[in-house]
Amino acid sequence: MKKQNAGLGEKLWNLIFPARCLFCGKLVPPGEYVCEACRKERPQAPFLRRYSLPGAGAEGFSVFSAAAYEGGFRKTLYRFKFRGEKGLSKPLGKLLAETAGQTGQRFDGVTWVPMTKAKRRKRGYDQSELLARAAAKELGLSCLPLLEKVRETETQHQLPRRQRLSNVKSAYRAGQEAQGKALLLVDDIVTTGATLRECAKALAEAGAVRVMGLCAADCAAIRTEEEKSL
């Protein structure tokens, strides 16, 4: 009986908030998150950046992103981050899990790039934590609160490139539970990568054996209008 009620609840939910494509907003079947047209048009492989990181070996620190930060997807992320549409974490989590699956690597747990406690109180939620929790659920992994942001920083995109690294330096602290784990480090958008690198460094220093960045969107992967029309 309980199960039937849950089913009905879900049907009602889908009626009021039907599933929509994360990229163009078109209606999609319940549980889906990309329409057929967008799936065909999307690049087959995730966007990848590699950074050198002390202790990370020759491979360095990799950051995979599901999509470019542009068009309809950019609007979806704006609604998720600034308009309080927390429900978007579910389809976005599925997209992140799909991206993590494409890397072919195995992990012990998922964590995220946190905001300071003060900022979180002000916004009411931490969008990266919601993404990490949703992705972990899809991947069947634990979501672990391993990082803490210990001081407030300037908004990264308002700073000149050379100041971005020093702005986030030592702003994050990682807990002991990171020790011996291969971890997925989730954030919503990668801009310079300085914040992700600082978090990966803190996790590595706490004893994580491997850290891989996983983001919804990559700012540097934006294609120009000319390229799109080719």
**Stretches 37-45, 155-163, 193-201, 216-224: which one binds Zn ion (CB under 5 A)?**
37-45
Token look-up 């039907």 returns: 18
Q: List Cα–Cα distances, 111 to 9, 125, 136, 139, 146, in angstroms.
A: 30, 15, 9, 13, 6
The torsion angles phi and psi of 65, rounded to 5 degrees, stand at -125, 145
Give the type of residue at 169: K
Distance CA 114, CA 202 (A): 13
> In this complex, which beta carbon is closest to Zn ion, that of residue 21 or of residue 66?
21
> In this complex, which beta carbon is closest to Zn ion, that of residue 21 or of residue 97?
21
> In this complex, which beta carbon is closest to Zn ion, that of residue 46 or of residue 91?
91
Among 20, 33, 35, 217, binds Zn ion (CB under 5 A): 35
Among 19, 24, 165, 206, binds Zn ion (CB under 5 A): 24
Under the binding rule (CB under 5 A), the answer on residue 38 touching Zn ion is yes
C-beta neighbour count of 124 within 10 angstroms: 8
- Residues in CB range of 61: below 8 A, 6 or more apart: 50, 51, 52, 53, 196, 197, 200, 211, 212, 213
**Stretches 25-33, 85-93, 159-167, 178-186: which one binds Zn ion (CB under 5 A)?**
25-33
Distance CA 230, CA 228 (A): 6
**Stretches 17-25, 53-61, 198-206, 214-222: which one binds Zn ion (CB under 5 A)?**
17-25
> In this complex, which beta carbon is closest to Zn ion, that of residue 71 or of residue 145?
71
Under the binding rule (CB under 5 A), the answer on residue 21 touching Zn ion is yes
Under the binding rule (CB under 5 A), the answer on residue 19 touching Zn ion is no
Closest approach, Cβ 18 to Zn ion, in A, equals 14
Interacting residues toward Zn ion by CB under 5 A: 21, 23-24, 26, 35, 38
